[in-house]
Amino acid sequence: MADAPLSHPLGAAASDEDAPLYAPRKQIYPQAVKGRYRTIKWVVLAITLGIYYFLPFIRWDRGPNAPDQAILVDLANGRFYFFFIEIWPQEVYYITGLLVLAALALFLMNAVAGRVWCGYLCPQTVWTDLFYAVERWIEGDRRDRMRKDQQKLTLKVAGQKGLKHFIWLMIAWWTGGAWVLYFADAPTLVYELATLQAPLLAYTWIGILTFTTYTLAGFMREQVCTYMCPWPRIQAALTDEYALNVTYRYDRGEPRGSVKKNEVLKLQGLPAGDCIDCNQCVNVCPTGVDIRKGLQLDCIQCGLCMDACDTVMDKIGRPQGLIAYDTEMNVKARMEGRPEVRHIVRSRTLFYAGIIALVGAIMITSLAMRQNIYLSVMHDRNPLFVRLSDGSIRNGFTIRVANKHLDERRYALTVEGLADAKIDIIGGEVDQQGRAIVTVGPDQTLEARVLVTDTASAASSSTDLQFILTDLSNGDKAATSDHFKAP
């Protein structure tokens, strides 16, 4: 008997080609669902929100002259504190390194399991999920919410909606509030906010983030993922046929039909799939996608349709996994009787993992070897040199010394490259060995004017000059080069 043709998902999607270019938004009422992936999402939600809201309150003892907040962006002093790491403005490349690592981790996730970031970890997904949970808790599940939106507004429903928006605003407000705590001492700022003594900027940022969280998670929801976010487009260009995606196994599900109809077909020896067309996978979807039409841009790969379908399969006594992490290639392979191919470890994933390991190793090594002393020198632009009354030539420089230690340090500055060079420092001292001495407070920088004089007037028009800074307490050195200019 000839096989009945399978209804290919792309075929179903192709019928959308005649759809108009603009369609008004359809309100989505995702239904509650229980299952493995829903549980994973709850756990991820609790961990990520817990980290975001409470991390500013974690303390980290750095000694007497440094803040004790584990993660702090100290804009006033130009410092970023991350537990035992302190990043200075001139070390912003560490932030670049972290961003590169984050992008590579995203690529690796994508190569292994598609949009796993979108479905489980993206802040838009996490906060929208939380807002949906509040909505469901107050207004009821899908059918209740649909009925309430369609019927005339009663006092009870108005009260429920009012309570929902109040709780949403509270969550949004706390989201903005937590954000500003990363930029100041958290307990102090909480006290100042509560007593209306905080800076206006803090209230402004809380207002902005309250508004954006409330709008994006409460109203725009799936539209952010579908229309505003660039990642689905980039992700589509980066993925390959081996990446696991939430896939409707149409080789097993089609031809779809009711339980009874498919039982009759099976008894007659006709092909009948496991999909009973109950629409549960669509009802639970937070973006309103019918995964049976194949991979779509709107699908954030949250896995909830897998839970919904597994529950249905359990009820009708069929094996779970009609919707599962799979690949289109394997669906086709099964249909054609070829063996499935699963390649999680492949050149693409190894390449991303290798680059992550390399960038991580470079960052750790450079962090371990970073110096707590820093020197920069800038030659005066005008005049390049001055001839003194005794005939000697003098050049002026501006030096910047950074002391990354948490105690005050004294440094000696010397120059090499010019045989009869004499060094002076404006507002500082020169010791008996002719070294310019500077004192820099804990975790501070100092800028000073330095004058280098060629007493023998032997320098050529441009002579290489080496500035050497020595920490007088432990002998640590920092060096940098410039030029000595002469006629």
Nearer to ligand SF4, 4 or 456 (CB): 4
Nearer to ligand SF4, 80 or 132 (CB): 132
The residues facing 423 across adjacent strands are 452
Q: Is the dihedral of CA 434, 436, 442, 443 positive or negative?
A: negative
Q: How far is the CB of 317 from ligand SF4 (least distance, A)?
A: 13
**Joined tokens for residue 365:** 């090594």
CA distance 359 to 105: 11
- Which residues of the shown chain bind ligand SF4 in the complex (CB under 6 A)? 246, 248, 253, 275-281, 284-287, 289, 291-292, 299-305, 308-309, 312, 322-323
Strand order through the sheet with 409-416: 429-430, 436-440, 409-416, 462-471, 477-485
Nearer to ligand SF4, 70 or 309 (CB): 309
Nearer to ligand SF4, 296 or 455 (CB): 296
Q: How far is the CB of 334 from ligand SF4 (least distance, A)?
A: 16
Nearer to ligand SF4, 302 or 452 (CB): 302
CA Rg, the chain, in Å?
A: 33
Residue 12 contacts residue 294 (beta carbons within 8 Å): yes
Q: Are strands 429-430 and 393-403 parallel, antiparallel or unpaired?
A: unpaired
**Joined tokens for residue 102:** 């984050």
Nearer to ligand SF4, 285 or 436 (CB): 285
Q: How far is the CB of 22 from ligand SF4 (least distance, A)?
A: 22
Nearer to ligand SF4, 302 or 413 (CB): 302
Nearer to ligand SF4, 284 or 418 (CB): 284
Q: Measured between alpha carbons, how far apart are the two ends of the chain, in Å? A: 100
Nearer to ligand SF4, 228 or 362 (CB): 228
Nearer to ligand SF4, 323 or 375 (CB): 323
Q: How far is the CB of 28 from ligand SF4 (least distance, A)?
A: 10
Q: How far is the CB of 128 from ligand SF4 (least distance, A)?
A: 11
Q: Is the dihedral of CA 354, 123, 296, 234 positive or negative?
A: negative
**CB neighbours (10 Å) of residue 440?**
20
DSSP states along 35-98: SHHHHHHHHHHHHHHHHHHHGGG-B----TTS--BSEEEETTTTEEEETTEEE-GGGTHHHHHH
Nearer to ligand SF4, 308 or 486 (CB): 308
User: What b/e sequence results for 187-213 when a residue is b if at least 16 CB atoms lie within 10 Å of its CB, and e otherwise?
Assistant: eebbeebeeeebeeebeebbeebbeeb
Residue 241 contacts residue 328 (beta carbons within 8 Å): yes
Q: How far is the CB of 308 from ligand SF4 (least distance, A)?
A: 5
Q: Torsion over CA of 126, 127, 128 and 131, rounded to 10 degrees? A: 130
Nearer to ligand SF4, 111 or 118 (CB): 118
CA distance 342 to 359: 28
Q: How far is the CB of 132 from ligand SF4 (least distance, A)?
A: 12
Q: How far is the CB of 169 from ligand SF4 (least distance, A)?
A: 27
CA distance 322 to 100: 37
Nearer to ligand SF4, 163 or 278 (CB): 278
Q: How far is the CB of 276 from ligand SF4 (least distance, A)?
A: 5
Q: How far is the CB of 331 from ligand SF4 (least distance, A)?
A: 13
CA distance 133 to 148: 17
**Joined tokens for residue 91:** 């070390």
The residues facing 324 across adjacent strands are 247
Whole-angstrom CA distances from 268 to 1, 8, 259, 264, 271 are 11, 23, 14, 6, 9
3-class DSSP state of 298: coil
Q: How far is the CB of 274 from ligand SF4 (least distance, A)?
A: 7
Phi, psi (rounded to 5 degrees) for 254? -100, 155
